[in-house]
Amino acid sequence: MKAPRGPRPGDALAAALFPTLPTEVQWGLERTRSLLAAVGDPLSRTAILHVGGTNGKGSVARIWASVLQAAGFRVGLCTSPELIAFRERILVNGSPLPDTFLLELAQELREPVIRAKPSWFEACTVLGFLALDRARVDVAVMEVGMGGRLDSTNVVNPLVTAITNVSLDHQEVLGPTVRHIAREKAGILKEGVPAFTGVQDPDVLEVLASEAGTVGAPLMRVPAPQGTVSLDGIRTSLRTRTWGVVDLHCPLVGRHQLANLAVAVRALEALPPRYLASVGQLKEGVSQVRAPGRFQVEETADGLWILDVAHNPAAAAALAGTLGEVDPPGPVIAVLGIRADKDRAGIVEILAGAVDGVVLTRPGPTGDWSGSWSREGGAPLAPEGAEVRTEPDFPLALASAREWAGADGTVVVSGSFSTVAGALEKLGRIPREALPASFASG
């Protein structure tokens, strides 16, 4: 099976890095290892933290990076996909590296790439390793791209690993059931490397425990803590072995983020002593976490906007639950742009039940508009009784939702990374990580 993992349309930097490489997924680690060996095995002597999962892995990665930076380390962060621009994928202390620097490194990789014949994503993974190595980071945080076992990031020898959760997504390449997907996610577990998970599904836990036992990885399940959720984030008291009971405030919004925070903190406790933050540094780092597009709240002159990249039913359920808990001012109108290869019906059904109205549109300004938005006979793809409108023009969909919600209501934009990216660009709220950087900022 193949799935596209290439540059976003209109991203000049991404298109220029490896323009001739195939964008389909190519399973296996041999090409990535060959490329890394050709450039001296970058990051082979660097402390690495590795996180996978269906949803939440980006949040855990950002919590790790923020706390380690607060502890005084120079921290590299590799995540994917980006919201708006490729430069978001490779950050040092929260800032992007200069485009010219990344292009120079891509040119350095040209001959090894010709020999190894990797996919675009594999080459970009190696580019991230090389960039962080040249930027002299002390610690590197790596987020799995897809799956785990055969994902190109799975060449690392981490100090700790984490698997946030496992649910149905990318079934066309990872397998038809959560047990199949769990086995792929468990592929990042390593012998003797402490591993932490927030998974609650007994079937998934059984698979993870079995795979951990097979490879000899000590696996710890981290229960979700109690806490409060509001539009300004989450608050909880975590009981830890290292820092005792710690009161934490994290700007990430949603009850599911309490589970992600607990997994991140427990994993940080398992690091060697030289990498342990103080309690003050832990609190500071957690309080400064930024994750654009994850229940991002924006107040504009036109009213309140909430932007969330929920692109599968599990993420949609988390978004719906959070909307119910924080109760933003109504009416609440959702703009949903979902790729045709996703479970559109499942996502729409979940979110339509959590809002007052839905505008179905394309996933971003250049996304595909497909007739699969309609059921057989032309009825809108939404639960019976839900008020649903369709608008193929993306800017008009945003404007229609804003008019429908009014200045006192809330517009929720969701369904895909490209949908949220298009809204952020339209609102003029592009994340700083997506903006070009000077070399000094890296």
- pLDDT computed for residue 173 by the predictor: 52
Tokens of 83: 């919201």
Regarding whether 96 and 167 lie in a shared domain, the answer is: yes
Classify residue 5: in a domain, yes or no: no
User: What is the per-residue pLDDT across 295-339, written as a single tens digit (0 to 9) for each?
Assistant: 999 999 999 999 999 988 988 999 999 999 999 999 999 999 998
Residue 9 predicted with pLDDT over 50: yes
- pLDDT computed for residue 1 by the predictor: 36
Give yes or no for a contact between 5 and 120, defined as CB atoms under 8 angstroms apart: yes
Classify residue 268: in a domain, yes or no: yes
Regarding whether 305 and 283 lie in a shared domain, the answer is: no
Regarding whether 218 and 152 lie in a shared domain, the answer is: yes
Regarding whether 332 and 264 lie in a shared domain, the answer is: no
User: What is the per-residue pLDDT across 39-85, written as a single tens digit (0 to 9) for each?
Assistant: 999 999 999 999 998 889 999 999 999 999 999 999 999 998 899 99
Give CA–CA dist 126/276, Å, rounded. Answer: 28
- pLDDT band, very low/low/confident/very high, at 441 (cuts 50, 70, 90): very low
- pLDDT computed for residue 178 by the predictor: 81
User: What is the per-residue pLDDT across 262-296, written as a single tens digit (0 to 9) for each?
Assistant: 999 999 999 999 999 999 999 999 999 999 999 99
- Return the axis-axis angle of helices 255-269 and 279-287, rounded to nearest 10°: 150
- Which domain-ending residue is among 240, 273, 291? 291
CATH code for the domain in which residue 329 is found: 3.90.190.20
Regarding whether 380 and 231 lie in a shared domain, the answer is: no
Give yes or no for a contact between 432 and 87, defined as CB atoms under 8 angstroms apart: no
Regarding whether 326 and 254 lie in a shared domain, the answer is: no
The mean of the pLDDT values for the chain is 90
- pLDDT computed for residue 3 by the predictor: 46
**What mean pLDDT do residues 376-396 have?**
75
- pLDDT computed for residue 439 by the predictor: 42
Regarding whether 300 and 233 lie in a shared domain, the answer is: no
Regarding whether 303 and 282 lie in a shared domain, the answer is: no
Regarding whether 346 and 269 lie in a shared domain, the answer is: no
Tokens of 389: 């409108």
What angle is formed at CA 140 by the lines to CA 277 and CA 256, rounded to 5 degrees? Answer: 70
Residue 442 predicted with pLDDT over 70: no
Classify residue 113: in a domain, yes or no: yes
Classify residue 120: in a domain, yes or no: yes
Regarding whether 345 and 277 lie in a shared domain, the answer is: no
CATH code for the domain in which residue 127 is found: 3.40.1190.10
Helix, coil or strand: residue 149: coil
User: What is the per-residue pLDDT across 72-102, written as a single tens digit (0 to 9) for each?
Assistant: 999 999 998 899 999 999 999 999 999 999 9
What angle is formed at CA 215 by the lines to CA 212 and CA 219, rounded to 5 degrees? Answer: 25
Classify residue 309: in a domain, yes or no: yes
Q: Tell which wins on pLDDT, 140 or 436.
A: 140
- pLDDT band, very low/low/confident/very high, at 379 (cuts 50, 70, 90): very low
Residue from 153, 21, 136 nearest 79 by CA = 153
Q: How many independent structural domains does the chain possess?
A: 2
- pLDDT computed for residue 227 by the predictor: 97
Classify residue 2: in a domain, yes or no: no
Range of the domain at 28: 12-291
User: What is the per-residue pLDDT across 189-248, written as a single tens digit (0 to 9) for each?
Assistant: 999 999 999 998 899 899 999 999 999 999 999 999 999 999 999 999 999 999 999 999
Regarding whether 152 and 76 lie in a shared domain, the answer is: yes
Classify residue 435: in a domain, yes or no: no
CA distances from 317 to 26, 33, 293 (A): 31, 38, 16
Q: Is 324 exposed, middle or buried (0-12, 13-18, 19+ CB in 10 A)?
A: exposed
Regarding whether 259 and 163 lie in a shared domain, the answer is: yes
- Which domain-ending residue is among 235, 264, 291? 291
- Which domain-ending residue is among 273, 291, 309? 291
Classify residue 6: in a domain, yes or no: no
